[in-house]
């Protein structure tokens, strides 16, 4: 039971990271590598403000990540809009490295750590099964956020605009979607999602270094492509699948678990060859360049 | 795109001789200053070959590839493994589980570089047969998966290599001339590929994915050819790197290497050979100058006290800055041209 719960909780965490990336990709075709640093800065803030009540500490972290996301949009991505995905991707990589180095100058190269939410590290017995508290909280939290995001995207006006922009940005603008405000909101929400991811990760592993968010971001990126980049649902599903597979492989491969990534990447290539548009795509659509 | 289709169409001697002369003069001139700069020039030439390899595929096809690090990794592996001394391979602690036939496997240094090219081309040909069906971001992520797979394999496998450790005692180039000759050779190869009909078809697919096949271009085929050739060149780049560093380590060919070379290409201007050369030179030069400042030395009489760690921050910042300033790269994707004194037209991109 515990391995499955772990897999679901890791899958959920990856789904949140993928959702943050997918939101921004949907509105401006940007593969935002610097999403990793939004996760990292949240984790740093949570560790540094660990003396404050958790909810306050998390609130500051979410605010910081959202502001940083909006700042990167205003200063860099806005001015690169329309230059093409490759150039924006390289720029976001440069930004990502730049932010990592800034964190190194501010917080030092060595990991910062603090016991965040120590009550979550214990385990409890539910229905005769011994289950860690953190995995229950993580699963509960991700389900709640995914439901909230589902409501936001499916039921609200902002969500309608996000979906419209993700489907066809130009037409959505013609129909009155205010692009700057929408893209700004997408960045802000992705920052808040990154803060949730940062919180979940920092509870599991309280050693925060400048590269803290990199691994999950790269894998979530892989996830949104195999899920289907054209829809947020696909992005979240893809992220979940990657996290879930990775966790299961780690549990069941035994000594061969060091090759978990090899199997994962192999699976990714096969999925992409069978369904180039991702699992949730409708047929074999070709993206116009 | 409403601008002129970028890329070479027919042979113009200045477009080939310009980059060749620039690379020769700078390499020999800068290399003569000091021993540490000579080593820096050698590393820069390895990077340049990698950037040229990326230019052939990424520049011409418009499809991003993160997978070239895997070809360089494999090319470097075969070249390093076949030239490292047998005594070391038989006794080094990191290599005690090495597969027996590899211990006695021995090639001449130059032959080992050809082997690197062949291995790079072979892997690119096999994987390209599948991957070239993909477009856009899916293609980018699939090539990234290739890189991740290779890294994970070599990092953990101790039957075929040192795993996460370093393979020691790989013979080094005797000086600057061997890597320089290889880099010049690669420039010539890339130039002649870029004026070939295959490259022209590939560029047409970069500009319009629907019109090109309508005009009879098999996108998958031309991409596969370019991918294979660029795999060979990436293999050469890795093989050169291993003989400059004198050691093989899988980490050297992973994320930092992949992204710094892609950044060099985009900064210089991915659509042209000259862009690849300029991008490599500019990024290397900026890095070197900052390194000297970080060490408290002066460059051309100018000295800054740079705090430790600020170097990478400034490089990353200038990368983003250049893209904001000129998103088509410093050359705007144009080839080398001798500046005309009488020309009054500005050629901003």
pLDDT tens-digit series, residues A47-73: 999 999 999 999 999 999 999 999 999
Phi, psi values for residue A98, rounded to 5°: -60, -45
Q: State how many domains chain A has.
A: 1
Are the Cβ atoms of A265 and B138 closer than 8 angstroms? no
Residues of B in contact with A95 (CB under 8 A): 316, 320
Assess if residue A253 is contained within a domain: no
Are the Cβ atoms of A90 and B323 closer than 8 angstroms? yes
Of A99, A86, A71, nearest to B267 by C-alpha is: A86
Flag whether pLDDT at B13 surpasses 70: yes
Measured CA to CA, the distance from residue A210 to residue A107 in angstroms comes to 8
Assess if residue A205 is contained within a domain: yes
Assess if residue A263 is contained within a domain: no
Contacting B residues, span 51-110, partner chain A, CB-CB under 8 Å: 58, 62, 64
Q: What is the pTM of this model?
A: 0.87
pLDDT tens-digit series, residues B60-90: 998 889 999 999 999 999 999 999 888 888 7
Measured CA to CA, the distance from residue B113 to residue B59 in angstroms comes to 25
pLDDT value for B5: 58
Assess if residue B306 is contained within a domain: no
Are the Cβ atoms of B263 and A221 closer than 8 angstroms? no
Measured from the Cβ of residue A106, the count of other Cβ atoms closer than 10 Å reads 10
Which residue, among B320, B322, B333, would best test binding to A if mutated, counting the most A CBs under 10 Å from its CB?
Answer: B320
Assess if residue B259 is contained within a domain: no
CB proximity list for B205: less than 8 A, separation 6 or greater: B61, B62, B212, B213, B217, B219, B222, B223
Angle at B155 between CA A216 and CA A101, to 5 degrees: 45
Instruction: Find the CB nearest B145 among A98, A269, A277.
Output: A269
Strand partners, B28: none
Assess if residue A77 is contained within a domain: yes
pLDDT value for B4: 55
- The domain in which residue A100 lies consists of 2-117+129-211
Assess if residue B289 is contained within a domain: no
pLDDT tens-digit series, residues A15-33: 999 999 998 988 888 889 9
Are the Cβ atoms of B312 and A101 closer than 8 angstroms? yes
From its phi and psi, is residue B267 left (phi > 0), alpha (psi between -120 and 50) or beta? Answer: alpha
Assess if residue A217 is contained within a domain: no
pLDDT value for B100: 80
- What's the DSSP call for residue A112? E
Residue B209 in contact with partner chain A when CB distance is under 8 A = yes
Burial label for A120, CB within 10 Å (0-12, 13-18, 19+), is middle
pLDDT tens-digit series, residues B222-256: 999 999 999 999 999 999 999 999 999 999 999 88
Q: What is the mean pLDDT of residues B171-192?
A: 95
Flag whether pLDDT at A204 surpasses 70: yes
pLDDT value for B193: 95
Angstrom CA distances, B319 to A91, A101, B295, B313, B326, stand at: 7, 14, 22, 10, 11
Assess if residue A258 is contained within a domain: no
Q: State how many domains chain B has.
A: 1
Judged by DSSP in three states, A126 sits in: strand
pLDDT value for B284: 92
* Least confident stretch, A112-126, A273-287, B280-294: A273-287
Write the ipTM. Answer: 0.82
Judged by DSSP in three states, A123 sits in: strand
Assess if residue B143 is contained within a domain: yes
CB proximity list for B163: less than 8 A, separation 6 or greater: B94, B154, B155, B156, B157, B250
Chain B, nearest residue to A72 by Cα? B320
- What's the DSSP call for residue A74? I
- The domain in which residue B143 lies consists of 33-254
Residue B210 in contact with partner chain A when CB distance is under 8 A = yes
Assess if residue B2 is contained within a domain: no
Assess if residue B158 is contained within a domain: yes
Of A5, A7, A26, A282, nearest to A149 by C-alpha is: A26
Assess if residue A163 is contained within a domain: yes
Which residue, among A94, A239, A254, would best test binding to B if mutated, counting the most B CBs under 10 Å from its CB?
Answer: A94
How far is the alpha carbon of A20 from chain B, nearest alpha carbon, in Å?
A: 17
Instruction: Find the CB nearest B145 among A89, A93, A268.
Output: A268
């Amino acid at each position: 039971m515990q391995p499955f719960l772990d897999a679901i909780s890791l899958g959920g965490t990856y789904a949140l990271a993928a959702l943050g990336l997918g939101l921004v990709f949907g509105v401006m075709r940007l593969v935002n590598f610097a999403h990793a640093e939004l996760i990292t800065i949240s984790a740093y803030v949570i560790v540094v403000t660990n003396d404050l009540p958790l909810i306050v500490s998390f609130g500051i972290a979410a605010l910081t990540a959202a502001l940083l996301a909006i700042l990167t949009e205003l200063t860099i991505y806005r001015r690169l809009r329309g230059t093409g995905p490759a150039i924006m991707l390289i720029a976001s990589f440069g930004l990502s490295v730049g932010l990592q180095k800034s964190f190194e100058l501010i917080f030092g190269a060595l990991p910062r750590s603090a016991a965040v939410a120590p009550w979550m590290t214990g385990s409890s017995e539910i229905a005769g099964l011994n289950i860690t508290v953190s995995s229950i909280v993580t699963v509960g939290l991700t389900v709640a956020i995914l439901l909230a995001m589902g409501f936001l995207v499916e039921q609200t006006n902002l969500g309608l605009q996000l979906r419209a922009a993700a489907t066809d940005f130009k037409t959505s603008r013609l129909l009155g979607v205010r692009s700057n405000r929408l893209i700004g909101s997408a960045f802000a929400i992705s920052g808040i999602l990154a803060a949730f991811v940062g919180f979940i990760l920092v509870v599991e592993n309280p050693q925060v270094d400048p590269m803290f968010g990199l691994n999950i971001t790269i894998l979530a990126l892989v996830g949104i492509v195999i899920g289907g980049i054209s829809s947020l649902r696909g992005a979240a599903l893809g992220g979940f699948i990657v996290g879930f597979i990775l966790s299961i492989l780690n549990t069941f491969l035994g000594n061969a678990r060091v090759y978990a990534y090899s199997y994962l990447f192999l699976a990714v290539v096969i999925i992409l060859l069978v369904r180039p548009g991702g699992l949730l795509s409708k047929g074999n659509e070709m993206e116009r360049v | 795109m409403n601008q002129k289709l970028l890329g070479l169409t027919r042979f113009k001697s200045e477009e080939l001789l310009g980059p060749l002369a620039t690379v020769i003069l700078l390499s020999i001139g800068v290399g003569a200053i000091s021993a540490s700069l000579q080593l820096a020039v050698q590393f820069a030439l390895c990077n340049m070959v990698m950037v040229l390899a990326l230019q052939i595929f990424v520049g011409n096809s418009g499809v991003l590839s993160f997978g070239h690090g895997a070809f360089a990794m494999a090319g470097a592996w075969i070249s390093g493994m076949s030239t490292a001394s047998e005594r070391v391979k038989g006794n080094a602690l990191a290599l005690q589980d090495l597969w027996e036939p590899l211990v006695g496997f021995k090639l001449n240094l130059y032959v080992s570089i050809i082997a690197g090219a062949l291995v790079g081309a072979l892997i690119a040909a096999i994987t390209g047969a599948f991957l070239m069906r993909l477009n856009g971001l899916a293609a980018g992520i699939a090539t990234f998966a290739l890189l991740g797979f290779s890294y994970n394999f070599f990092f953990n496998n101790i039957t075929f290599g040192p795993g996460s450790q370093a393979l020691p005692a790989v013979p080094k180039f005797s000086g600057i001339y061997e890597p320089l000759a290889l880099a010049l050779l690669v420039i010539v190869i890339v130039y002649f590929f870029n004026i070939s009909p295959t490259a022209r078809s590939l560029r047409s697919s970069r500009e319009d994915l629907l019109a090109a096949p309508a005009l009879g271009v098999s996108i998958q085929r031309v991409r596969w050819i370019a991918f294979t050739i660029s795999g060979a060149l990436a293999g050469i780049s890795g093989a050169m790197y291993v003989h400059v560093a004198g050691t093989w380590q899988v980490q050297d060919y992973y994320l930092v290497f992949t992204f710094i070379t892609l950044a060099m290409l985009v900064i210089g201007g991915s659509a042209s050979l000259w862009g690849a050369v300029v991008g490599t030179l500019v990024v290397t030069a900026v890095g070197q100058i900052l390194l000297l400042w970080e060490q408290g030395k002066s460059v051309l009489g100018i000295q800054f006290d740079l705090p430790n760690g600020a170097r990478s921050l400034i490089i990353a910042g200038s990368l983003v800055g250049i893209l904001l300033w000129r998103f088509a790269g410093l050359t705007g994707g144009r080839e080398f041209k001798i500046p005309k004194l009488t020309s009054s037209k500005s050629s901003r991109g």
